[in-house]
Amino acid sequence: MKSAVLVFPGSNREGDMVRALTQAGSKVEKVWHADHELPKGTDLVVLPGGFSYGDYLRCGAIAGRAHIMDAVRAHAARGGLVLGVCNGFQILCESGLLPGILMRNANLKFICHRQFLRVERNDTVFAKRYAKGQAIDVCVAHGEGNYTADTETLKRLEGESLVAFRYCDADGQVTPDANRNGSMNSIAGIYSEKLNVMGMMPHPENLIEDLVGGTDGRGLFESLVSSFAKAA
């Protein structure tokens, strides 16, 4: 599999993402925001975490309009895979590739902590290495992760089973206490209609080794790489 990790001014978790993808067996190339094209043969585009353009406007608003995003939209329209994590999720929402928006956390503060997520479905290329309903232990680090959408959108996401992950406790229970940023329906990540674009606030790329806290994040990258091994 060949991945392209986009780098915007202010991206800061691109190195973490490259490490996770490489470890899972993907070829990885970094792509500068001002480029107009993705590298040839890109299977997966990844928008990493960070503070693109300082997040001084709405998070992801400027990056969502960068040159390279036209190429990403075209890639997605062809059915290509796109993953956005944290600021990457915010950019996907701002660029129109995913519905909804990420608002300030309910407590109005940046929060960084370990966080369990419930895997809502495992029949996708992003999550097939997980079990449905499994509680995976990853982490969050964001100030604006409070997923918000209008009633219609929310109904559609739930109706079409497009929620990827929800905040939960260690037992997989989706509780208000486990939903610290105040997201609607405890949504931590969502899929696009065709299931080829996924955005999530938590950071699976930081939980890929026992030494630094655990390996529950690996499943996501291994799911992606294994999907391609078979397809190819």
Q: Which two tokens stand for residue 150?
A: 């209008």
Residue from 208, 220, 224, 225 in contact with another protein (CB under 8 A): 208
Cα separation, 204 vs 179, whole angstroms: 17
Nearer to another protein, 39 or 213 (CB): 213
- Which C-beta is closer to another protein: that of 124 or that of 181? 181
172 binds another protein (CB under 8 A): no
Active site residue 203: yes
Distances (CA, A) of 108 to 114, 127, 142, 145, 181: 18, 31, 11, 10, 9
> Cβ closer to another protein: 141 or 228?
141
Q: Under rule CB under 8 A, how many of the chain's residues touch another protein?
A: 31
Beta carbons within 8 Å of 180's beta carbon, 6+ residues apart? 105, 106, 107, 111, 113, 115, 140, 167
Query: Which of 59, 86, 93, 139 is flagged as catalytic?
Result: 86
The site map against another protein for 85-114 (x = CB under 8 A) is ------------------------xxxxx-
Helix residue ranges, H only, 109-177? 151-159
Active site residue 205: yes
Tell me if 171 contacts another protein by CB under 8 A.
Answer: no
Identify which range of 67-75, 122-130, 135-143, 145-153 contacts another protein by CB under 8 A: 135-143
The yes or no reply on residue 205 touching another protein (CB under 8 A) is yes
**Cβ-based nearer residue to another protein, 109 or 155:** 109
> Which of 6, 16, 191, 227 lies at the binding interface for another protein (CB under 8 A)?
16
69 vs 152: CA distance, rounded Å: 26
DSSP class per residue in 19-47: HHHHHHT-EEEEEETT-SSPPTT--EEEE
In whole angstroms, give the CA distance from residue 232 to residue 226.
10
Q: Check binding of 12 to another protein (CB under 8 A).
A: yes
**Does the protein bind another protein through residue 231 (CB under 8 A)?**
no
Q: How far is CA 192 from the centre of its chain?
A: 12
Spot the catalytic one: 14, 94, 144, 205.
205
End-to-end CA separation in angstroms for the chain: 9
Pairing label, strands 146-148, 44-47: unpaired
- State in angstroms the smallest separation of the CB of 51 from another protein: 4
- Name the residues annotated as catalytic: 86, 203, 205
Binding site for another protein (CB under 8 A): 9-10, 12-13, 15-16, 19-20, 49-51, 53-56, 109-113, 139, 141, 143, 203, 205-206, 208-209, 211-213
